[in-house]
Chain A
Amino acid sequence: MRKKEVSTIINRVVLSLFISFTCFVMSCSDDPEATNEEEVITTVLVTLQPTEGETVTLTWDDINLDAVVDESEIVVSDNLVPGTSYAATIKLLNKSGNSEVNITDEVQKEAEDHIFCFTVTTAGISITNLNKDKNELPLGITSVWTTTSATTAGTVTITLRHQPGVKTGDCPGAGDTDASITFPVNVGVPV
């Protein structure tokens, strides 16, 4: 009788050990794969197309993919020409994965939840005519940048606000910042 009980207990122990061993083996996961970052923005490209003359581009490209905005990664192709009107188009890309993803398309699809805000530190540039979403609220993927006749130096900060359910057209308004980048922009050739 006693022997039987002891063996019952031993059986239980062996069973527990067996279970834990099985779990041990089964749960040994395979090597993980590097995560394909879907959410990040690695590239901001602003194309400024004048009615006539040279196109100017403002670019930030996160070449080393460290998510940090290094000064060397910001490239402004040229100074803006005084007294000119530019059609501006913003393009956001995610180049961190194997294939390039156009983030602007995502923003366009959720136009009612997004807005581009512009902060200009020079009186020489005014940004107007932001394109609109279905609710007739500004979106800003395209806009018009107009320069005055004066020669000025300053910066333009472009901020993409994500405002699901709370967009009113105000800047910065409620919501979160998805992207924010500052480009040095000159009008004319500053002395």
Chain B
Amino acid sequence: MLHIRPRLLIVLSLLLVAFPGHAQNCLLTISGIVKEQNGDVLPGATVSFAGKTVVSDSEGKFRLSGLCGGAVELTVNYVGYQNFYQKINLQKDTVITIQLIADETTLQEVEIVGNTAAKTGLTNSSYSLSQQELEHFSGKSLGEALKRVPGVSALQTGPAIFKPVIDGLHSQRILILNNGIRQEGQQWGVEHAPEIDPFIASEIKVVKGSEAVRYGSDAIGGVIIVDTPPMHQAQKFGGELNAGLFSNNRMGVFSGLLEGGFKNAESMSWRIQSSVKKGGDYSTPDYVLSNTGTQELNFSGALSWKKEDRGAELYVSSFNTEIGILRAAHTGSLEDFDNSIRNQKPWYIEDFTYTINAPRQKINHQLLKVSAFKKIQGVGTLNILYGGQYNQRKEYDIRRAGRTGKPALSLDLFSNILDVSLDHNLGGLTGSIGINGTYKDNANVPGTGIRPLIPNYRQVNTGLFIIEKYRKEKWLMEAGMRFDYQHLQVLTFINNQDLVKPSFNFNYVSGSAGVSYYMNEFARITSHVGVSMRPPHVSELYSEGLHHGTAAIERGLMNQNGFQTDQALIHKEISTKFTQGFQLIRKTFSLEVSAYLNHISNYVFLKPTGTALTIRGYFPVFDYNQTEAILTGVDGLMHWDISRSIEYAGTFAYLYAKDVANNDVLTFIPPAQMEHAFTWHRTLKKGQEFFITLSAPVAFRQTRAPKTVYPLDVAAYEGEKVFDFAPAPAGYILLNMEAGIKFPVGDHTLSIALEGENLTNKTYRVYMNRLRYFADEPGANFMLRLKYNFHSHE
């Protein structure tokens, strides 16, 4: 159990702040000229020294007078150029010529930025959240931060559980790569969020097309790559401290990172990191969302040994969380459910508390990674990686006779991954060939007293892939191919009595090809096509029973027809996705648009097939089914420096999804969304940077929502079309504001940001939040974030 006092966080954070002062002799001047690299003078550049700021005139000249003596940093900024810093020890009047270097990012540079670039295709549509962007989300969950990416939304279960959805696909169709290791958790459930602490990330990249060729069938809908900062080799000691306070749920978040080298082993370095979080119940503008508290305690450590041509790394991480589920969302019967929906207000509202009661989830995820690389002369780089993961998931329900303390669902998933790949660069051809192997063992921990929703299973996967890229003049081409084999053994019971051990063997192939044409150094057009296959997941094959989270009885593909479904009737999902992209990056303007068409045959979905009268009353029965689906849409982003200090950023996404075979809509498809953000930023004296951002996320109503069938009408419902228990909520516009300042404290840096979310305290509901049946979204939330970076060289 975790107990963090938010007050302690404030004290700790304040202790870190210190301001230096200095002596006076104030008659000196600095003058000079600001030039471009080619020698042209640069009017309008901001020159700051010791608290004074001037702008260079039409001849690029500037003059600062009345300055005091001493060593102070001179800074010069101009939009589109790299910031210029020089420490000047001012003893007499000084004349200086400053040359600014154009900061024009060309497309080629964008592609190689970040260490994730090599791991994905270049012609696939992707988006990276940089460290700076991630700072705005510190303290939030991974899924919530990813909502920032156009085309990515989140399937929510209340205010704390966010599951990423990429272009309409989620769960077992999306792969999350955590520091190079595929995350193996219980991703099948819609209320199962990724078991990852975003504080470990220095960059998060989302690839919106299939990366199944490199990563296998789990990546059929896209990949989320969470990367940790590269290990520093220089012998220095340093770190980072983060603190965050959130008003809505009175949450405190604290994280710290320390890293350094070893005196006697220059090629070795280490890093340790930890984060803690504790929050209580969230509140809507009108009431407390009782039992939505959350707490988290995470730890990670890394040890690296790196030479020019070889290296190895050991990484361990531990993620531990406990999350309360809105008390009023626990549904004993369809009548309760119906009442909750029609009341428009949760039936259980108590005073704010940090206590987390049932229903709740408790998740522990441990990871061990061992990796090594070796450069082989004339061939390339050989990479070997092993990952072991132990995922424990316990869900607690409200039960009789003291059983509330006993998990209603308890799953232990143990997985092993071995990846070997050879990256090569031969002439104009770069690529990678590799093999992966994974072994998973999923076991229900006995003693729950409830029939497990998914059975025990063992799964072995092997894959062999090759990806090649070829670049010539204005063209970039890439193609890849993968062969997979999966063996799955399920240990399940027929009528909860007789153990059976059916086995499945799947062979499948994935392929992708893409081409980019660079119209000039700022614009390119990209076309990509990916064909990937995915065998159904165990949950889709063998789910059985009443799923309290969804108030429905679910039956897997194999559990229909009295458990006698013929294996030959089970098909692999086949996705064929075309993506057409356009990218433009200019000095003050950038635009990226991608349009896609994803055709999925044998798409697995839940189809309502009737109702069952149980001892708790009627429940709808959903059978897993396979159909032909189409998901097509367009998303984009735009960035525009309107003036030297004002920026605009906008994103939008629209998705149209259809069950072609049944002429029906699909469930859990995000509605059209967009966001507009204006930022005003300024460099103040002594390298202080200030910004203020005003943003407005907009969500439209989902007009292609499934037909509404209220819970009490379920028994009388006879149609075959998918349905939802309540109509799609109306669209909304929110207003958020953030202001921050970053300034040096000696050699160190301190950032302080104050943010307000949903400033107008608007009452609204989100279509993609499964708890929208019961309650509104949280109201205004004010956040204070502090970040302190320190490094010392030895």
Give residues in A with beta carbon < 8 Å to B.
5, 9, 12-13, 16-17, 19-20, 23-24, 27-29, 31-42, 44, 60, 62, 65-69, 96, 103, 106-107, 109-110, 162, 164, 166, 172, 174-181
* Residues of chain A lying within 8 A (CB to CB) of residue B612: 67-68
Known contacts A40-B615, A177-B616, A180-B616; 11 further A-B pairs (Cβ under 8 A): A13-B372, A20-B388, A29-B443, A65-B495, A106-B400, A164-B398, A166-B348, A172-B336, A175-B336, A176-B336, A179-B616
Indicate if the CB atoms of A38 and B384 lie closer than 8 Å: no
* Residues of chain B lying within 8 A (CB to CB) of residue A106: 400-401
Indicate if the CB atoms of B496 and A176 lie closer than 8 Å: no
Q: How far is the CB of A16 from chain B (nearest CB, A)?
A: 4
* Residues of chain A lying within 8 A (CB to CB) of residue B404: 164
Indicate if the CB atoms of A65 and B491 lie closer than 8 Å: no
Indicate if the CB atoms of B450 and A38 lie closer than 8 Å: yes
Contact A37/B491 with A31-B499, A177-B336 known, Cβ cut-off 8 Å:
no
Contact A180/B398 with A12-B372, A24-B416, A33-B446 known, Cβ cut-off 8 Å:
no
Indicate if the CB atoms of A35 and B451 lie closer than 8 Å: yes
Which one of B374, B443, B617 has the highest number of Cβ atoms from chain A below 10 Å of its Cβ? Answer: B617
* Residues of chain B lying within 8 A (CB to CB) of residue A31: 491, 499
Query: In the complex, A52 Cα to B336 Cα: how many Å?
Result: 39
Indicate if the CB atoms of A34 and B493 lie closer than 8 Å: yes
A sample of 24 inter-chain contacts (CB < 8 A) reads A5-B310, A9-B372, A12-B384, A16-B384, A19-B388, A20-B418, A24-B439, A31-B491, A34-B497, A34-B499, A35-B451, A35-B452, A35-B496, A36-B449, A37-B496, A39-B399, A166-B348, A172-B335, A177-B333, A177-B336, A178-B332, A178-B616, A179-B616, A180-B616
Q: How far is the CB of A50 from chain B (nearest CB, A)?
A: 27
* Residues of chain A lying within 8 A (CB to CB) of residue B444: 32, 35
Query: In the complex, A65 Cα to B401 Cα: how many Å?
Result: 22
* Residues of chain A lying within 8 A (CB to CB) of residue B388: 19-20, 23
Contact partner of B335 among A62, A65, A174, A180, CB < 8 A?
Answer: A180
Contact A37/B615 with A9-B310, A24-B416, A28-B441 known, Cβ cut-off 8 Å:
no
* Residues of chain A lying within 8 A (CB to CB) of residue B499: 31-32, 34
Indicate if the CB atoms of B450 and A35 lie closer than 8 Å: yes
* Residues of chain A lying within 8 A (CB to CB) of residue B310: 5, 9
Nearest chain B residue, comparing its CB with the CB of A21: B416
Contact partner of B448 among A35, A40, A41, A44, CB < 8 A?
Answer: A35
Contact partner of B615 among A23, A33, A41, CB < 8 A?
Answer: A41
Q: Is B199 an interface residue (CB 8 A)?
A: no
* Residues of chain B lying within 8 A (CB to CB) of residue A35: 444, 446, 448-452, 496
Nearest chain B residue, comparing its CB with the CB of A180: B617
Nearest chain A residue, comparing its CB with the CB of B491: A32
Indicate if the CB atoms of B418 and A16 lie closer than 8 Å: yes
Q: Is B614 an interface residue (CB 8 A)?
A: yes
Query: In the complex, A37 Cα to B529 Cα: how many Å?
Result: 49
Q: Is B456 an interface residue (CB 8 A)?
A: yes
Contact A29/B450 with A20-B386, A68-B613 known, Cβ cut-off 8 Å:
no
The 7 A-B residue pairs with the shortest CB-CB distance in the complex, in nearest-first order: A176-B332, A38-B449, A177-B333, A177-B332, A106-B401, A16-B386, A27-B414
Query: In the complex, A106 Cα to B491 Cα: how many Å?
Result: 32
Query: In the complex, A37 Cα to B447 Cα: how many Å?
Result: 10
Indicate if the CB atoms of A34 and B496 lie closer than 8 Å: yes
Nearest chain A residue, comparing its CB with the CB of B386: A16
Q: Is B537 an interface residue (CB 8 A)?
A: no
Q: Is B85 an interface residue (CB 8 A)?
A: no
Query: In the complex, A41 Cα to B339 Cα: how many Å?
Result: 23
Contact partner of B400 among A19, A34, A39, CB < 8 A?
Answer: A39
* Residues of chain B lying within 8 A (CB to CB) of residue A103: 400
Give residues in B with beta carbon < 8 Å to A.
310, 312, 330-333, 335-336, 339, 347-348, 370, 372, 374, 384, 386, 388, 398-401, 403-404, 414, 416, 418, 439, 441, 443-444, 446, 448-452, 455-456, 458, 491, 493, 495-497, 499, 546, 612-617
Query: In the complex, A17 Cα to B385 Cα: how many Å?
Result: 10
Indicate if the CB atoms of B400 and A179 lie closer than 8 Å: no
* Residues of chain A lying within 8 A (CB to CB) of residue B439: 20, 23-24
Query: In the complex, A66 Cα to B612 Cα: how many Å?
Result: 10
Q: How far is the CB of B370 from chain A (nearest CB, A)?
A: 5
Contact A29/B441 with A5-B310, A180-B333 known, Cβ cut-off 8 Å:
yes
Indicate if the CB atoms of A107 and B330 lie closer than 8 Å: no
Contact partner of A13 among B384, B613, B617, CB < 8 A?
Answer: B384
Indicate if the CB atoms of A37 and B449 lie closer than 8 Å: yes
Q: How far is the CB of B612 from chain A (nearest CB, A)?
A: 5
Indicate if the CB atoms of B441 and A27 lie closer than 8 Å: yes
Q: How far is the CB of A17 from chain B (nearest CB, A)?
A: 7
Q: How far is the CB of A5 from chain B (nearest CB, A)?
A: 7
Contact A174/B347 with A20-B388, A35-B448 known, Cβ cut-off 8 Å:
yes
Indicate if the CB atoms of A177 and B617 lie closer than 8 Å: yes
Q: How far is the CB of B94 from chain A (nearest CB, A)?
A: 53
Query: In the complex, A42 Cα to B491 Cα: how many Å?
Result: 26
Which one of B374, B400, B414, B446 has the highest number of Cβ atoms from chain A below 10 Å of its Cβ? Answer: B400
Query: In the complex, A106 Cα to B532 Cα: how many Å?
Result: 52
Query: In the complex, A29 Cα to B445 Cα: how many Å?
Result: 11
Contact A68/B614 with A37-B496, A177-B333 known, Cβ cut-off 8 Å:
yes
Query: In the complex, A39 Cα to B370 Cα: how many Å?
Result: 44
Indicate if the CB atoms of B398 and A176 lie closer than 8 Å: yes
* Residues of chain B lying within 8 A (CB to CB) of residue A62: 615
Q: How far is the CB of B731 from chain A (nearest CB, A)?
A: 32
Query: In the complex, A16 Cα to B417 Cα: how many Å?
Result: 10
* Residues of chain B lying within 8 A (CB to CB) of residue A12: 312, 370, 372, 384
* Residues of chain A lying within 8 A (CB to CB) of residue B336: 172, 175-177
Contact A32/B446 with A19-B386, A20-B386, A24-B439 known, Cβ cut-off 8 Å:
yes
Nearest chain A residue, comparing its CB with the CB of B382: A9
Nearest chain A residue, comparing its CB with the CB of B418: A20
Q: How far is the CB of A13 from chain B (nearest CB, A)?
A: 6
Query: In the complex, A62 Cα to B370 Cα: how many Å?
Result: 53
Indicate if the CB atoms of B372 and A176 lie closer than 8 Å: no
Query: In the complex, A82 Cα to B156 Cα: how many Å?
Result: 55
Query: In the complex, A24 Cα to B335 Cα: how many Å?
Result: 47
Query: In the complex, A67 Cα to B444 Cα: how many Å?
Result: 21
Nearest chain A residue, comparing its CB with the CB of B455: A32
Query: In the complex, A44 Cα to B616 Cα: how many Å?
Result: 12
Query: In the complex, A19 Cα to B384 Cα: how many Å?
Result: 14
Q: How far is the CB of A139 from chain B (nearest CB, A)?
A: 14
Query: In the complex, A63 Cα to B456 Cα: how many Å?
Result: 27
Q: How far is the CB of B288 from chain A (nearest CB, A)?
A: 15
Query: In the complex, A62 Cα to B446 Cα: how many Å?
Result: 24
Query: In the complex, A5 Cα to B305 Cα: how many Å?
Result: 13
Q: How far is the CB of B489 from chain A (nearest CB, A)?
A: 10
* Residues of chain B lying within 8 A (CB to CB) of residue A174: 347-348
Query: In the complex, A68 Cα to B553 Cα: how many Å?
Result: 11
Which one of A66, A109, A175, A180 has the highest number of Cβ atoms from chain B below 10 Å of its Cβ? Answer: A180
Indicate if the CB atoms of A69 and B446 lie closer than 8 Å: no
Query: In the complex, A107 Cα to B402 Cα: how many Å?
Result: 11
Query: In the complex, A12 Cα to B373 Cα: how many Å?
Result: 11
Q: How far is the CB of A115 from chain B (nearest CB, A)?
A: 13
Query: In the complex, A134 Cα to B452 Cα: how many Å?
Result: 36
* Residues of chain A lying within 8 A (CB to CB) of residue B399: 39
Indicate if the CB atoms of A9 and B332 lie closer than 8 Å: no
Nearest chain A residue, comparing its CB with the CB of B439: A24
Query: In the complex, A106 Cα to B401 Cα: how many Å?
Result: 6
Which one of B332, B348, B495 has the highest number of Cβ atoms from chain A below 10 Å of its Cβ? Answer: B332
Indicate if the CB atoms of A23 and B330 lie closer than 8 Å: no
Nearest chain B residue, comparing its CB with the CB of A37: B451
Contact partner of A179 among B384, B458, B495, B615, CB < 8 A?
Answer: B615
Q: How far is the CB of B539 from chain A (nearest CB, A)?
A: 16
* Residues of chain B lying within 8 A (CB to CB) of residue A17: 386, 418
* Residues of chain B lying within 8 A (CB to CB) of residue A13: 372, 384
Contact partner of A23 among B331, B414, B546, CB < 8 A?
Answer: B414
Q: How far is the CB of B84 from chain A (nearest CB, A)?
A: 44
